[in-house]
Structure 1
Amino acid sequence: MTEAPLEEVHRAVYRPVREGNALEDTVARLVQTLRLGVVAPGESLPPERELASRFAVSRDTVRDAIKELADAGYLVRRRGRYGGTFVADPVPPPAHSTATPAEIDDILGLRRVLEAGAARAAAERTFSAEERAALWARHEATVAAGAGEYRRADTLLHLAIAEAAGIPSLVPLIAENRAQVNVWLDTFPLLPRNIEHSNAQHEQVVTAILSGRADAAEACVLAHLAGSEALLRGFLA
């Protein structure tokens, strides 16, 4: 089954940036699209004109931001008929985290509030057959993902749940939070048994949402986040 595009997620990461720090914010927003997997390694970014329109900045600002990220190895610019700006494959790994315990507590605490609330809100909605199929397809794509694609598929499933909540302003909050969590996750390897456990928990979450069991959806998300939180604290401590 073809995965439906995450429209609210795209609107969230490609929303206008602040006027006072246009270049810095444009760079940060582009990095966010990479860390979230909105654009996969080897895939192309939207054209400069479209990025400028979405970020509400000049094309010069977009070009400068792309140059900064190309120089840092995150993007590759190609000329010619099939040219454009492409995400590096692989994307450079993040530097080792220097997060303090207080920063970790803050990000993970916010994550619990946002994602558990999103799951509850999603479970309280009535979905069309197409929406139900799209959310389940995201879960199936995560199960089918290989080790190299798993974290991207996992992220897109979490963002699909955020979008399923039906609260557009919630999506950029979860996207920004998740981007920071992904920086930390990328500092340590995937564990095969953790993938198996994660997939089982994802199924519980999605099933609870689609069956309209809000309490169960919230509880399943919190249990799922507790597992990854334990790993994060173990590797980052």
Structure 2
Amino acid sequence: MSQDGAGEPWGGPAPGRDRLAAVLRPVRAGNGFEEALEQVLQVLRLGLVPAGERLPAERELAERLGVSRVTLREVLRVLHEEGLVESRRGRYGGTFVLPRAEGGGGSGAAELRRRIAAVDLEDVLRFREVLEVGAAGLCAAHGLDDAGAGRLRAALAGTRDTPPGGYRRRDTLLHLTLAELSGSPTLAARYAAVRATLNDLLDCIPLLVRNLEHSQRQHTALVEAVLDRDAGAAREGMREHCAGTAALLRGFLS
């Protein structure tokens, strides 16, 4: 997959590289994989690297995004699995953009996409963040009794060692538990509604093992902050967690 220094410079003359300047930028530390994937997907969706052309060399792309080569290769692996790029070896090898397939995904995927066609993605993501950050902060600031702390620990434990196919349900239960423990039935009800829409959106994108592992680490830190009654850390941890999911959804669906 390595293409550093191989073959002709990517994109022809120097002005061709400027096409990416408005999209590719150093990512934030908290969600490096998700935000890097979002940016590369945006490059492809905008056609900044047309089908048949080569992406920048790994070293250059990693530097532009401010991520390690290991993280970048995880991003490229996802693109390969989704049929968006292919690797070619040899002097003029590299990672090349493939033509986008039309009308794929089967009848179930098509029905799901019809159901969410009218969804305002940004509205859902912003409302979700407001509710989740607020719930995490309330739980931490007010503190949880023994029963509430036990429920939260059990919900977190339920997300561990769960096969990818069942992870989203366990993830949903953990977030719903936080909303319910906030002490606001109205907040919990609103969150349940927005989570249903969020899950429809998530069902339109692939389950990424790297993202699930990252989310699990964020979940653990978030629960620890809540149980330690550190409201600031709980709010910031949830904000970062929501931002990672938002980056993936924007990358695949925007």
TM > 0.5 fold call = yes
Higher-Rg structure is: 2
> SS where residue 95 of structure 1 aligns?
helix
Task: Give me the whole-angstrom Cα distance separating, in 2, the residues matched to 1:157 and 1:208.
Answer: 15
1:141 aligns with 2:158: yes
1:154 aligns with 2:171: yes
Identity between Structure 1 and Structure 2 (%): 42
- Output the TM-score relative to the length of structure 1: 0.58
1:208 aligns with 2:225: yes
- For 2:147, the equivalent position in structure 1 comes to 130
AA aligned to 1:119 is A
> SS where residue 123 of structure 1 aligns?
helix
Shift of 1:127: 1.9
Q: Given that residues 225 and 233 in structure 2 are in contact (C-alpha distance below 8 angstroms), is that contact kept between their aligned partners in structure 1?
A: yes
- For 1:227, the equivalent position in structure 2 comes to 244
> SS where residue 212 of structure 2 aligns?
helix
Q: Which digits, 9 at most, give the CA deviation of each residue in 1:109-152, with x for residues without a partner?
A: 11111110010001012322222121011011112211111000
1:181 aligns with 2:198: yes
Structure 2: unaligned runs, 5 residues or longer: 1-107
Q: How does 1:81-92 map to 2 (within 5 A)?
A: none
User: What is the RMSD computed on CA atoms of the aligned residues?
Assistant: 1.6
Q: Given that residues 140 and 234 in structure 2 are in contact (C-alpha distance below 8 angstroms), is that contact kept between their aligned partners in structure 1?
A: yes
Shift of 1:96: 2.0
Q: 1:218 aligns with which of 216, 235, 253?
A: 235
> SS where residue 124 of structure 1 aligns?
helix
Moved beyond 6 Å, runs of 4+:
none
- For 1:26, the equivalent position in structure 2 comes to none
Q: Which digits, 9 at most, give the CA deviation of each residue in 1:8-33, with x for residues without a partner?
A: xxxxxxxxxxxxxxxxxxxxxxxxxx
- For 1:236, the equivalent position in structure 2 comes to 253
- For 1:41, the equivalent position in structure 2 comes to none
Count the aligned residue pairs. 145
Structure 1: unaligned runs, 5 residues or longer: 1-91
Shift of 1:218: 0.4
Task: Give me the whole-angstrom Cα distance separating, in 2, the residues matched to 1:144 and 1:172.
Answer: 29
